[in-house]
């Protein structure tokens, strides 16, 4: 028994059976899908608005193309819930983002229909081109289809992909799912340009690209061509016109109404028949079919559980590291005119909306473009500005070279507010913020703070913007603070004295470490405890303290290689590091901390084991 047995979809073999029904029946299934999406995401949390926008598009793709022989690459996977439902995963759809359940993104190890992993933005054209080139080499005539949200279209990788795909002699189709939103409102010239395209409704030329292409494909082509010719008004959008994407070498189809199945299928069939790189422009409405999400797609981009009737998502909360960061930076900026703030399409999620409202002239949302955000920061820094780039840990990875080349070599002063540092939970493997420590420490001229509570975040941020030099990162986890221990500081704090054993940690693990110490105390096992707040560079003073203990156990919520605990263990021979051994799957944060030895209980056990062994 599945929760979805009442739906027609549950009795179909998918995606195969989608080709056996007519458009009307397919449209009815789209209604079912919307119900399932709203019902499920209201319980599991997840990306609602973007998925409501792609219901018909996904249906049309699976009716026109033949997955998994045709390969569909979603950019990013958070618009692919309908794809999951239509490729045999409906029975498990209520496990979405849950422990041992379906991923919130596409994963090749979850389904043969997920042609490529897709958690980070702007990757699909490049990945699909690789797939298309491999198909070409094998004489395989199937298509590689990249479905790209317009938010992803600001990422440089998307352009690198287009530049190579447009001139490739492959069957690659790039579908731009254009809803004029990235995560918050789109920014930049590309958005403006797409918006202009979107509102155009007639590009009349004597002979369209589509028609020319269809002339070459007699069997499939003729009927479609006839349809196009006979319905200039109803189907007016599939017509030749000059776009930036044609400059890149693509044939162009669109704009198509992304909620009109008939129009979508005709357009996609035309694209398929061309057998060359084709760019298909589809207009969708983010949140389509659920009024609260249509009205407020930003709030329904990524949501926790919510009440369907009122549509109240629990997204905007003042009790989070992000909001404390945004408010504190705004306060600091009142006194220090040199502070500018930068985000890559995450104005709300990083808490910077507060800053943007107070100082619109010193705030830049650059769109999904982390590389630019960092090099742009370099340009500001060259002029004496103090740029503060607020970015998720996992997305900072995009800017490694820019940090090295455009900030570190010149030793410019720039601050990163690294949000979602550490394990993020249900967003999973592609989004865990576990590499920023190794990334930043592998670059010279960097300083890293990892506050364990809001007060420390405020102290660290103030010091980062007003006192420090070079690249200064303040990293903090998703969500709200939990109890820490000891005095608030931006350096380090040692509690206890006289024990043989020392527990060292930083950031939100301070909560569990303090509890671990209490557990040990209850067993009459004494240990001291130290929190690091300025975790890097390595400090002689801390080495001195550590060296005084018999056993030191350093717990760290970061990938082991390049971690702070690894560094202290290379310098102090008595340090046992406990950190993350590799990629981390999706599951609740507490579950993942526990299975990696970082719950209070596991910490206490580890300490006891080490004490007993020495």
398 is catalytic: yes
Q: Which of 303, 502, 327, 530 has its CA nearest to residue 417?
A: 327
Nearer to its own copies among residue 178 and residue 303 (C-beta): 178
Contacts of its own copies in 185-214 (CB under 8 A): 187-190, 192-193
Nearer to its own copies among residue 291 and residue 360 (C-beta): 360
286 is catalytic: yes
478 is catalytic: no
Radius of gyration of the chain (CA): 26
16's CB contacts (< 8 A; 6+ apart) are none
Contacts of its own copies in 51-90 (CB under 8 A): 73
Q: Which residues on neighbouring strands pair with residue 504, listed in sequence order?
A: 530, 554
Using the rule CB under 8 A, is 425 a contact of its own copies?
Answer: no
Q: How far is C-alpha 417 from the geometric centre of its chain's CA atoms?
A: 16
Which of 56, 528, 557, 566 is in the footprint of its own copies by CB under 8 A? 566
Tell me the helix, strand and coil percentages in the chain, rounded to 5: 45, 15, 40
Angle at 24 between CA 50 and CA 41, to 5 degrees: 25
CB of 255 to its own copies, least distance (A): 16
Among 370, 429, 456, 557, which one carries the catalytic annotation?
370
Using the rule CB under 8 A, is 126 a contact of its own copies?
Answer: yes
* Interior/surface letters 367-386, b for 16+ CB within 10 angstroms, e for the rest: bbbbbbbbbbbbebbeeebb
Using the rule CB under 8 A, is 360 a contact of its own copies?
Answer: no
d(Cα 147, Cα 149) in Å, to the nearest integer? 7
Using the rule CB under 8 A, is 131 a contact of its own copies?
Answer: yes
Using the rule CB under 8 A, is 123 a contact of its own copies?
Answer: yes
CB of 503 to its own copies, least distance (A): 19
CB of 153 to its own copies, least distance (A): 9
Contact by Cβ (8 Å): 569, 585: no
Among 286, 362, 508, 567, which one carries the catalytic annotation?
286
Angle at 399 between CA 395 and CA 401, to 5 degrees: 150
Which of 79, 393, 445, 596 is in the footprint of its own copies by CB under 8 A? 445
CB of 227 to its own copies, least distance (A): 30
d(Cα 471, Cα 51) in Å, to the nearest integer? 38
Q: Which of 384, 386, 379, 428 has its CA nearest to residue 402?
A: 379
d(Cα 237, Cα 201) in Å, to the nearest integer? 6
Using the rule CB under 8 A, is 609 a contact of its own copies?
Answer: no
Using the rule CB under 8 A, is 363 a contact of its own copies?
Answer: no
Using the rule CB under 8 A, is 521 a contact of its own copies?
Answer: no
Which of 336, 582, 609, 614 is in the footprint of its own copies by CB under 8 A? 582
Which of 4, 81, 93, 158 is in the footprint of its own copies by CB under 8 A? 158
Contacts of its own copies in 381-420 (CB under 8 A): 381-385, 387, 395, 397-398, 400-402, 404-406, 408-410
The residues annotated with a catalytic role in the active site are 286, 370, 398
């Amino acid at each position: 028994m599945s929760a979805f047995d009442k739906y027609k979809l549950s009795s179909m073999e998918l995606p195969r059976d989608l080709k056996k029904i007519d458009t009307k029946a397919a449209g009815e299934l789209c209604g079912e899908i919307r119900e399932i999406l709203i019902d499920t995401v209201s319980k599991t949390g997840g990306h609602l608005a973007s998925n409501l926008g792609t219901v018909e598009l996904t249906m049309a793709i699976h009716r026109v193309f033949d997955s998994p022989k045709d390969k569909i690459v979603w950019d990013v996977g958070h618009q692919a819930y309908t794809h999951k439902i239509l490729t045999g995963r409906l029975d498990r759809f209520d496990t979405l983002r849950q422990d041992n359940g379906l991923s919130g993104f596409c994963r090749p190890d979850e389904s043969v229909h997920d042609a490529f992993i897709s958690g980070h933005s702007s990757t699909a054209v490049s990945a699909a081109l690789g797939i298309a080139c491999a198909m070409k080499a094998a004489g395989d005539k199937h298509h590689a289809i990249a479905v790209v949200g317009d938010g992803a279209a600001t990422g440089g990788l998307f352009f690198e992909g287009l530049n190579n795909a447009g001139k490739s002699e492959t069957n690659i189709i790039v579908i731009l799912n254009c809803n004029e939103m990235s995560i918050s409102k789109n920014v930049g010239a590309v958005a403006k340009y797409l918006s202009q395209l979107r509102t155009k409704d007639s590009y009349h030329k004597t002979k369209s690209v589509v028609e020319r292409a269809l002339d070459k494909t007699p069997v499939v082509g003729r009927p479609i061509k006839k349809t196009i010719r006979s319905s200039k008004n109803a189907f007016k959008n599939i017509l030749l016109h000059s776009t930036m994407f044609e400059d890149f070498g693509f044939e162009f189809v669109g704009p198509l109404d992304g909620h009109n199945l008939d129009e979508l299928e005709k357009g996609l069939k035309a694209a398929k028949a061309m057998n060359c790189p084709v760019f298909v422009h589809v207009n969708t409405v983010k949140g389509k079919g659920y009024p609260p999400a249509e009205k407020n797609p930003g709030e329904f981009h990524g949501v926790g559980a919510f009440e369907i009737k009122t549509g109240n998502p629990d997204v905007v909360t003042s009790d989070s590291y992000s909001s404390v960061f945004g408010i504190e930076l705004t306060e600091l900026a009142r006194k220090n005119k040199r502070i500018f703030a930068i985000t890559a399409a995450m104005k709300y999620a990083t808490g910077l909306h507060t800053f943007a409202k107070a100082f619109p002239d010193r705030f830049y949302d650059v769109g999904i473009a982390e590389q630019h955000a960092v090099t742009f920061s370099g340009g500001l820094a060259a002029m004496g500005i103090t740029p503060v780039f607020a970015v998720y840990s996992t997305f900072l990875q995009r800017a490694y070279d820019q940090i090295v080349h455009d900030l570190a070599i010149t030793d410019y002063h720039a601050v990163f507010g690294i949000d979602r540092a550490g394990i993020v939970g249900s967003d999973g493997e592609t989004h865990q913020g576990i590499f920023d420590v190794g990334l930043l420490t592998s670059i010279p001229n960097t300083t890293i703070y990892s506050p364990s509570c809001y007060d420390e975040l405020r102290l660290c941020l103030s010091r980062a913007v007003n006192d420090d030099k070079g690249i200064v990162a303040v990293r903090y986890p998703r969500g709200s603070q939990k109890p820490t221990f000891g005095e608030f500081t931006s350096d380090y704090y040692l509690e206890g004295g006289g024990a043989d054993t020392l527990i060292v940690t930083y950031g939100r693990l301070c909560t569990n470490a303090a509890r671990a110490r209490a557990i040990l105390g209850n067993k009459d096992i004494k240990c001291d405890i130290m929190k690091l707040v300025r975790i890097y560079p390595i400090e002689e003073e801390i080495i001195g303290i550590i060296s005084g203990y018999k056993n030191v156990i350093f717990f760290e919520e970061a990938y082991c290689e390049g971690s702070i605990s690894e560094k202290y263990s290379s310098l102090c021979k008595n340090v046992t590091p406990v950190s993350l051994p590799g990629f981390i799957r999706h599951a609740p944060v507490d579950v993942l901390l526990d299975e990696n030895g970082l719950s209070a209980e596991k910490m206490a056990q580890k300490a006891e084991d080490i004490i007993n062994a020495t």
